Structures are given as structure tokens and as C-alpha cells.
Structure 1
Amino acid sequence: MKNPKLAAHLEQELAKYRVGGKPLPGIPSQAELTALVAQMVDSVARINYVKTIAKRDISPARLDPKNAHMFDPLRAAIQHMRAGNEDEAFWLVFLFVHCGKNLTKGYSLLRMVYGAFNDKFVWTWKKFSANPDAFSMWLHQHLDELLAQSKQFPFGNHRKYESLKHLGVTLASYADWVGPSRSHRQLLDAAKAEVGTDPKALFDYLYYSMDAVHRFGRTAKFDYLTMVGKLGLENIEPPSAYMIHGTGPVRGARLLFGGAADNESLSKRKLDELSVDLNKALGVGMQVIEDSLCNWQKSPDKYLFFRG
């Protein structure tokens, strides 16, 4: 297993953890315990990977959406942040979350959107936010061709139910969420004026404010804001797993705390409270709790690797 020291720590803490004086009902045997620990170790590794690339040198080719082999939106976001262009960094994180990375086609959709398909320009934040309607018109002009080639531009797993037809509205609503100044820094400063600088309070405020972004639900908001935090674009961290709006993590929490994924005797709010309390014992962070429970419930007694 990767990171055996962490795995041993998590296994020990989970084995001795008690809810109402009783062991966790979702891990009745070593098989469930081992599988859950492995998913948690994987989640930690994914977070650490992002934090690691944020410290490395980055090739300029990583910033070019026309470069099919080298473009990487997260590395590009890091480099733009280093260069003082934080709006572009936030924009790329948003596009990364909304488009996703497909298992077979990679960033082809994101490159098509950001790189303006076959046109010789890039939909930078400056260009897009100056006139989101221009993007919608551009998309409409190319839509028939793009739909005909839709298999070349699939959304990632977390966004697999999205459609190119909604893209213009979603992106425009993101610009509206950022605000009329189109400045992410001004957005964050306004949020801090409301709730202060505590990373968890700030995350929570931004999470609920993102209801304004069209077709951006719990998973998308959570993924976007946690990525902003992991990349160091802003000091924020989730105060909970937001189970009240969840599905996959809820099934995992119900299995772990209630003994069955379809056990509805525990409310989503209670599951959130239990998850927060579990994290206090494990110390891995709420993103790990959310991610690992979601993946673990798909195969609770046998470890399967998921890309997250």
C-alpha cells in the first residue's frame, strides 16, 4: 500500500473510533477497514500531488491550449498566479472543474473551449469576461460542428451529464458570480468583508454564493473551491463534506455510520456532523473524508482504484 505509515495510523484510529460507544458498523471486518483506508490514502495522495506540482518549475508549453500533448490547466493556473495574473488562474480552475478530464480524451474539451476550437485565439479571462455574449455567439456559430464531433470533446466523469448546449449560459453565470468588476480579488475581498478571513468560514460563504453559477451543483462547487485551496490561490478549506446536498458521499457515510448505504435513519445533517467529528480523529481534512467515502461505497470490501 502507498504511504504505509499513514495507512497504519488511519487503520488504528478507525478501529478504535466509536459512535455512541460502538465501533463503526460499516467496517465489520478487516476487508472493509483495509478498503476504506486505501481510499483515504489515495485521496491524500491526490491532494499532495496538486500541492507538489504547485512548487515545481513549469514549462511555458503547459499554458498553451493549442498544444495537445503539453497543455495542463492546473499547471497553467499555477504559472499565471506566479506571474500575477490571478484572474486567469481562477478562470482555468473553473474551466478545469466544469469540463473535467476525460479518462480517454484527457483535456480535449477544455482545450477546445479555452483554445477556441480551430480559431487562432484563446478565450482568456480578459477576453471572455469583457463580453460573455461574444462567447455564446461564437459557440452558436460552431455548435453544429462541435456536436458532430462531440465524441472528441467529452466532459469528465463528474460532469458527464453536461452538454455543450449549456456551456455559454454556465460560463456567463460564472462571470456574473465573480461580479461586475470581473475581478476575483474583489470578489474575495467582498467575501472577507462579510465573514472574515477564517479559511472554513470563507469556503462556506463562497460555496453557498456559487448557487448563482448555472448547473454548478454540490460536487462542482466543492471541487472548484477545494482546488482553489490546494493550489494556494486562496486560503480556504471545507468545514464539512456538505452531505446535505450529496449523493455518493452520503451513501458512503450511511454505510460507515449506519451499516448500510441505503440506511436513511440518519439524516444528511447528522451524517455531516458525524463526518466532521470523524475528521477530528483522523486529521486528514474534509476533502479526504468526502472523496474517500464516495469511492469506498462503490466497493466497500475490496479496494478498487478510482481517479477521483
Structure 2
Amino acid sequence: MKNKILDRYEQLKTNLEEFSKTQISLLGLDTNKKLDIFTRQLIDSIRRVDFVGVIKDREVSEFYSDPNNESFDPLKAALFFKQEGLIDEAFWMIFYFVYFGRNRETGWRLAREIYSSYNEDENWTWNRIIENPSEFRNWLNNNYSQMINDGIPRKFGNHRRYSTFNPTKKNNVADAIESYVSWINPPRTHIELFEENFSSSDSNPITTFNSLYVSMNSVLTFGRLAKFDYLTMVAKTGLFSIEPGLAYINGSTGPESGTKLLFYNNINSNVSSSELEEFLVNLRDALELGPLGMQVLEDAICNWQKSTSSYIYFR
């Protein structure tokens, strides 16, 4: 480890031990090996969360926003559009980033080819979509057969593996996009939606996050993780200042069982998710993880519970 990372590692490890002794026992960290592995997962998660903050203030090249360029990246496209003042398009790219996900084999090809209208002349920009959302469905119906028979692989990311762009299937990409547009409800803009929630939440970034999280139940195929990832990415890119006050582990698999393992050393422990969330808030504060600390914990715990006896780096 580099010196700066090593210093952070040692501080986190010390804080974990102190927390377990003086506040809430971390029974799952009952060996030095498990403590080491969990601390390393925390470091990895911090670096993943901090990465967007590092690049968001840099000048981003336009070619990342061009879906006809193989370097297209919806996250960097969002940052480019933000720097150009095209705020709705920046939010739209965050939707793309979360909805499609990056596939380990095919990268962003599916997102890129959908956004480019399968290499037609006009991209499916936010303004084009909201003019007539049903036009996208017609386009999908007309192009799906060719897309799956052209011999070019294109896939959703790992967390989106149950999504589909088959127009005959339920909750396909057209359904998801139409529901997302309805959530924003143009001519209302993304910022106006967020500001409305901010105002009705007494200008509290944590309450605003939760209000938006609940309202996103109307966005088809966006479950717990997609809503959480979308809203935290809005925060990380600086599009709107919101903060997760919870890890939203209720109903999850890895994060909830991992939290039980961390605090009780028993994934079958009979403890409510609300109580576990309180434990995580206390742990976040003790570790001084900052405004996005709940995402750090959610990510680290989810990865740690997959392998508590040996360290694995997860991308």
C-alpha cells in the first residue's frame, strides 16, 4: 500500500477495534484476518466512491459523450454535459449509467448503441425522448430484430442482468424509459424535481435523499440498488447536494446478511433491518466516512461477506 492509503488503513482498523470495544461489538471481526480483510474492503470502497469526486472537477473531453465513439462512457458523458450546462442531459446519462450498467465483456456497447439510435443520425437525447416517449418504443420495435441478429454481442451489466431490451418482454427498456420520464414529469426538469423534494424536506439533504428514493418506486426495474446508485451518483457528480442517511439494506441479499455477519457473526440473526441501519449510522460516524459513508459501508459489507477469510478485489 502507498503511504497515504496505509495511513488510512491503520486509522480505520484502529477505529473499528475501538468501536467494537466501546460502542457496538463487531462479532464478525473475531480474528485479525477478518479485521484486515474488512478494512481493506473499506479502503477499496472509499476509493471507488471518491473516484467520481476526483474526476468531476477535471475538464472532460466531448468524445466520451459521443455514442458513435467506442470510448463513450455515460458517467464521463454526464460530467461533460454538466460542464457544458446541459443539466438534464447530465441526469439522463446517469440514468443510462445505472440502467444499462457496464458489462465486463461488452463494456458500454449496449448503452452506446441505444443512445446512438443504433448508429442512426439522431441520438436519443433527453429532449428527443420527452418530445414523444412512444417514438422510442416504435424505434425499438423496428430495430430489435436486427440488433440481436447482427452477430455483435451487447449485454447489460452484472447488476442489470435481468433487464431486457426485447420489446415483447415485460419491463423492457422502453417501459423503463417511459416510467423514468413520467417520474421526472416534463416540462418539469430534473433540477426542479430535486428542488421540490428539497423544499418539502425542510432543505435537509438526508431527508431529500429518502424522499427521492421512495418516489423512484415508480421507475420500472429500479430496485433498491439502482435507486441507491442513481441518487448517490447524482450527489457524487455534484448535480445536486443530497446525502444517504441509510444504507437501504432492507430486502437486499448481500448487504443485509453481511451486516448481520459483521455485528452478530450470524447471517440468520433475528434482528430487524431498522436496527441494523442504526448500527451502520453509528459505525459510519465512528469511522468518519463523510456524507457518502453509507454507500461506502453498503459496498464494503456486500463485498466482504462474499469472502471473509481471504481478500478479493472487486471492481
Same-fold call, TM cutoff 0.5: yes
1:5-56 per-position Cα deviation (integer Å, ceiling 9, x unaligned): 1111110011122389663110111111111111110111111111111111
What residue in structure 2 maps to residue 167 of structure 1?
A: 173
**Residue 29 (structure 1) aligned to one of 10, 31, 43:** 31
Which residue identity is paired with 1:119?
A: E
2:197–2:208 contact (8 Å) kept in structure 1: yes
Pair 264,148 (structure 1): closer, same or farther in 2 beyond 3 Å: farther
Q: Which runs of 5+ in 2 are unaligned?
A: 167-171
What is the root-mean-square deviation in Å for CA atoms of aligned residues?
1.6
Give the whole-Å Cα distance in 1 for the aligned partners of 2:242 and 2:185. Answer: 20
What residue in structure 2 maps to residue 18 of structure 1?
A: 20
What residue in structure 2 maps to residue 184 of structure 1?
A: 190
2:110–2:156 contact (8 Å) kept in structure 1: yes
Q: Which runs of 5+ in 1 are unaligned?
A: none
**Residue 238 (structure 2) aligned to one of 199, 216, 232:** 232
Aligned length: 305
Q: TM-score, normalised by structure 1?
A: 0.95
Give the whole-Å Cα distance in 1 for the aligned partners of 2:209 and 2:173. Answer: 25
Could you tell me the percent identity over the aligned residues? Answer: 39
1:129-167 per-position Cα deviation (integer Å, ceiling 9, x unaligned): 111100011011111222335872111111111111310
Give the whole-Å Cα distance in 2 for the aligned partners of 1:197 and 1:147. Answer: 47
What residue in structure 2 maps to residue 43 of structure 1?
A: 45
Give the whole-Å Cα distance in 1 for the aligned partners of 2:209 and 2:24. Answer: 33
**Residue 229 (structure 2) aligned to one of 220, 223, 228:** 223
1:98–1:220 contact (8 Å) kept in structure 2: yes
What residue in structure 2 maps to residue 204 of structure 1?
A: 210
Within 5 Å, which residues of 2 pair with 1:1-308? 1=1, 3-18=5-20, 23-68=25-70, 70-148=71-149, 152-165=153-166, 166-260=172-266, 262-284=267-289, 285-307=293-315
Pair 197,259 (structure 1): closer, same or farther in 2 beyond 3 Å: same
1:40-81 per-position Cα deviation (integer Å, ceiling 9, x unaligned): 10111111111111111211211101101x212112111211
State the SS of the aligned residue for 2:312: coil
Q: TM-score, normalised by structure 2?
A: 0.93
1:229-285 per-position Cα deviation (integer Å, ceiling 9, x unaligned): 00000001100101123221111101101102x323111121111111111111211
Give the whole-Å Cα distance in 2 for the aligned partners of 1:195 and 1:149. Answer: 49
Pair 149,18 (structure 1): closer, same or farther in 2 beyond 3 Å: farther
Q: Report runs of 4+ in structure 1 exceeding 6 Å deviation.
A: 19-22
1:258–1:266 contact (8 Å) kept in structure 2: no
Give the whole-Å Cα distance in 2 for the aligned partners of 1:157 and 1:90. Answer: 22
Give 1:224 shift: 0.4
